[in-house]
Structure 1
Amino acid sequence: MSNKKVYNGSCFCGAIQFTATGEPEAMGYCHCESCRKWSAGPVNAFTLWNPEAVQITQGIEHIGTYHKTPKSYRKWCKVCGGHVFTEHPEMELVDIYAAAIPELPYQPSLHVHYQEAKLKIKDGLPKIKDMPKEMGGSGITVAE
């Protein structure tokens, strides 16, 4: 029996339910144009999980998929249109939108694609030009 914490999440209407077990690999903010447009906001709060930690418990038939590039398979609810998560095959991670997991204590550790930021956030966290080196990026930091 595992002692790992299980977080419950859902889409906006609740038709899709899922769990995320354990702790995310990373939490932060993405400022790229793609995430901004998809989230309809100036910044996207993300949590990155190993795919094995994420389980759809209800409503798999309601999941729609869109991928503009092979790097991101964005998932949403066909009932309410609520965005749920994004699969990142190259990184072998799943990005669950922080707002979709209300009980997760969200603790961001960095900003990615900060050079594209439309909303500058001065919070003392590292601001990465693209992505950290461990995630295939340059790891170059930019000024807050």
Structure 2
Amino acid sequence: MIKGHCLCQGIQYEYQGEINEVVVCHCHQCKQAQGAPFATNAPLQLKQFQVTQGDDLLKSYFATPNKRRVFCSNCGSPLFSQRTDMPEIIRLRLGTVTEGHIPAPQYQIYCDSKSAWFALDEQTPCYPANKP
């Protein structure tokens, strides 16, 4: 089981499964949404994910028509994103995980958009855009 929460702990969640895939995303939107040089995400099955506290604090923002970014309306912590054409999958922001095993990233995407000052992990495969 995976557990986590936002910065203010107003939103808490559980995932009744394991994290099997970890991706580091260097796209411009992820960098801006995280305020960091990349985002570290895990695609998860929505049916196994549950907000256990603070459902009323969840806020969504559509930066593009196809993808909502969900965050805490109190502290601003990004929690997950969800594409409208894949509603059964969320992409959990792994910086919010407080309990459970997180494997090393399997790959990186949008490497052509990485921050110029950031050195990529050369041990992790890197793709210019979405994973082929």
TM-score, scaled to structure 2: 0.89
Classify 1:42/1:21 alpha carbon distance in 2 versus 1 (closer, same or farther; 3 Å).
Answer: same
Question: Do the aligned residues in 2 keep the contact of 1:31 with 1:43 (CA within 8 Å)?
Answer: yes
Match of 1:135 in 2: none
1:74 aligned partner: 69
RMSD: 1.4
The equivalent of 2:23 in structure 1 is: 28
TM-score normalized with structure 1 length = 0.82
Question: Which of 35, 49, 53 does residue 58 from structure 1 map onto?
Answer: 53
**Which has the higher mean CA deviation after the structures are superposed, 14-23 or 121-130?**
121-130
Specify the code of the residue in structure 1 equivalent to 2:90: V
Match in the other structure for 1:96:
92
- Alignment equivalent of 2:8, drawn from 2, 13, 38: 13
CA displacement at 1:90 relative to structure 2 = 2.7
CA contact (8 A) 1:10 1:101 kept: yes
8 A Cα contact 2:5 2:98, kept in partner = no
Offset from partner CA, 1:39-95 (integer Å, 9 cap, x none): 000111111101112111111111110011133211111111111111123344211
Residue aligned with 1:127, SS: coil
Would you say the 8 A contact 1:24–1:50 is kept in 2?
A: no
Q: Percent identity?
A: 23
Q: Is the 2:19–2:101 contact (alpha carbons within 8 Å) kept by the matching residues of 1?
A: no
User: What do residues 82-125 of structure 1 show as CA deviations (whole Å, max 9, x unaligned)?
Assistant: 11111123344211111111223322100011111112313311
Name the CA distance, whole Å, in 2 between partners of 1:87 and 1:9. 18
Cα drift, residue 25 of structure 1: 4.7
Distance 1:88 1:24 in 2: 19
Unaligned segments of structure 2, at least 5 residues: none
Q: 1-side partners of 2:25 and 2:49: how far apart? A: 21
**CA distance in structure 1 between the aligned counterparts of 2:128 and 2:85, rounded to whole angstroms:** 19
User: 2-side partners of 1:29 and 1:122: how far apart?
Assistant: 10
Shift of 1:20: 1.1
Gaps of 5+ in 1: 1-5, 133-138, 140-144
Is contact 2:2–2:101 with CA below 8 Å preserved after alignment?
A: no
